[in-house]
Structure 1
Amino acid sequence: MEVLFTVVPLLMIAIALCGAVVVLRRSRQVSSAWSSGITAEARCVRSYTTTSGGGDSMVRTTLHHVYEFTTRDGRVIRFDEEGGPPTTVEGDIVTVHYLPDRPERATARVPAQGKLAASTGCALVFLTAFIAFAVFLMVVANSDGSMP
């Protein structure tokens, strides 16, 4: 039984660390595109929603947009971005920011460094609390109740 309370929290920590890496990587990509990237006009070619949850949990709906633009060197790039403005519909023209060496990682989000930093920080605080809880579970489960 003690193995269960060691393996499961370690798995939780590994998943949280992977989540932190994903959050930091995407934040860095978006920030780089805003600060040193190139802009282009893109057309929204598709808009759709995805849902998750249900049953005993709350249903979450996420709005996605698919954008298409042409880079300065003539390549046509199509990318999907979630969480865009609900007022953007198919056919709308938006400005996208991208790095010349990674145009497929473009973003149509309006530059807002403070908002990006705040959302990244909140996600990292949540993941840190999640890791702390997993460590707490391991310590409590593996302690024999005696004082050192």
Structure 2
Amino acid sequence: MVVVAAVYFVVAVGAAVMSGRSLDRNLQGPRLRAVWAEGLTAEARCVSLRTEEAQSPEGGPVEYTHPTLEFRTADGHTVSFEERQSRLTPALGDSVTVYYGAANPKDATTRAPSFGMRHARTVITAAGCLFALVSAVVIALVP
């Protein structure tokens, strides 16, 4: 049973690592961490709103509103981008704080840095590895 437990452990740890990476990419973790790393912020103004219709998981219609925000970078360039990752829906003319990187300010976001987004991959991978270890021990000990 120890061999089965060892094989299970290796496969489960691999699955935990792949799941953590996949979740991180889906949540746009690498892009957001790069934007937040520079610590640059600006006040952006909502210049337009675009409504998108979609279908909910239950099959009903749902609408998403994406604001187009405009801000001025520290070096004086005006940047306009559509925010698609935030639940924030400002009204036309409202001001919001945006986080951006100097190298690519169009990657700006209104999402504030959070522990969960900064460490999602690590937390998911660690939880999966812990589950794999406990499961492998149980498998190894069962007669």
TM-score (norm 2): 0.57
Gaps of 5+ in 1: 1-19, 123-148
Gaps of 5+ in 2: 1-21, 125-143
| Residue in 2 that maps onto 1:104 | 106
Higher relative contact order (CA 8 A, sep 6+): 2
What RMSD, in angstroms, separates the aligned Cα atoms of the two structures?
3.2
Identical aligned pairs, as a percentage? 31
Greater share of strand residues, 1 or 2? Answer: 1
Structure 1 window deviating more from structure 2 (22-31 vs 60-69): it is 22-31
Are the equivalent residues in 2 in contact too, given 1:41–1:94 (CA < 8 A)?
A: yes
Select the residue among 27, 50, 53 that pairs with 2:52. 50
Quickly say closer, same or farther: Cα 1:22–1:114, change in 2 above 3 A. Answer: closer
What is the SS of the residue equivalent to 2:34?
Answer: helix
Rounded to whole Å, the distance in 1 between the matches of 2:26 and 2:87 is 19
Rounded to whole Å, the distance in 2 between the matches of 1:69 and 1:50 is 23
Are the equivalent residues in 1 in contact too, given 2:43–2:95 (CA < 8 A)?
A: yes
Quickly say closer, same or farther: Cα 1:115–1:21, change in 2 above 3 A. Answer: closer
Displacement, 1:105?
0.4
Q: Note the alpha carbon deviations across 1:30-61, whole angstroms, 9 max, x for none.
A: 1221232311111111123201238x933232
| Residue in 2 that maps onto 1:30 | 32
AA in 2 matched with 1:84: R
Are the equivalent residues in 2 in contact too, given 1:42–1:95 (CA < 8 A)?
A: yes
What is the SS of the residue equivalent to 2:35?
Answer: helix
Q: Note the alpha carbon deviations across 1:69-104, whole angstroms, 9 max, x for none.
A: 111122110000123323x21111111111100101
Displacement, 1:21?
9.2
Rounded to whole Å, the distance in 2 between the matches of 1:22 and 1:113 is 13
Rounded to whole Å, the distance in 2 between the matches of 1:33 and 1:81 is 14
| Residue in 2 that maps onto 1:11 | none
Q: Is the aligned partner of 1:85 residue 2:88?
A: yes
